[in-house]
Homo-oligomer: A and B are copies of this chain.
Amino acid sequence: MSERLHIIPHDHKVKKADRAVLHGHRPAIVWFTGLSGSGKSTLASALEYRLHRAGLRTYILDGDNIRDGLNKGLTFSDADRQENIRRISEVARLFVDAGTIVLTAFISPFKKDREVARKLVGAGEFIEVFVDCPLEVCEQRDVKGLYKKARKGEITRFTGIDSPFEAPEDPEITIPTHLLTLEGAVDRLFSYISKELS
């Protein structure tokens, strides 16, 4: 086989641009960032449903499919939190290379970690969505009961309580979830993304 190998030139490799042609759209990371309870996963899920129905190739990376799989064993230490976001960023990059619109839904509180993710992909391939909801509203929702635990000191280094959230300075989109309906928020995201990636 080694002789025949060279008959097929190297540029027969399937490239990102070939996948874009097959899929009918360009790929991107849609990076949701915001406090716990701000609505990242809900938004990502509803947006994905909308994109999928429109025939676009999508995938969501979130705690449900990352925590007990790829990032099993990582702790809540600063180093492991950074490694957590680093691996998510690298996997998101692979999905972009595969031609997918990959939505990530993680608090991702630190600017420098999000900048690392942005730099892994090309210009226009990173869409940062700031899910902007006041701490008071998130804490009142407290869907998972985590704020209560953080206030009691049962959880430490909880973003918004005893660990900072560094809001994006220049996100592609800001979604104030305390002011918009889910439908309105998804409309805005869908319209931006389908325009940018078609």
Point out residues on A near B: beta carbons under 8 Å. 1-2, 4-5, 7-8, 12-14, 18-19, 22-23, 39, 42, 45-46, 48-49, 52, 55, 57-61, 65, 69-70, 87, 90-91, 93-95, 97-100, 120, 141, 143, 177-178, 180-183, 185
Contact = CB atoms under 8 A, between A and B. Distances in A.
Nearest to A21: B52
Which of A19, A23, A49, A69 has most chain B Cβ within 10 Å?
Answer: A69
A76 to B, nearest CB: 20
Nearest to A51: B14
Contacts of A23: 57
A46 B9 CA distance: 10
Ordered nearest first, which 5 A-B pairs have the shortest CB separation? Answer: A59-B98, A70-B90, A1-B177, A69-B90, A14-B52
A178 B4 CA distance: 11
Nearest to A8: B46
Contacts of A4: 181-183
Number of copies of this kind of chain in the complex: 2
B14 A181 contact: no
A159 to B, nearest CB: 18
A108 to B, nearest CB: 17
Contacts of A185: 1
A90 B74 CA distance: 15
Given A8-B46, A18-B52, A69-B90, 12 more contacts: A1-B177, A4-B181, A4-B183, A5-B182, A8-B182, A13-B45, A22-B57, A57-B99, A59-B94, A69-B120, A87-B87, A95-B95
Contacts of A183: 4
19 contacts: A1-B39, A1-B42, A1-B178, A1-B180, A4-B183, A5-B39, A5-B42, A7-B182, A12-B45, A12-B49, A14-B48, A14-B52, A22-B52, A22-B55, A22-B57, A59-B97, A61-B94, A69-B90, A91-B94
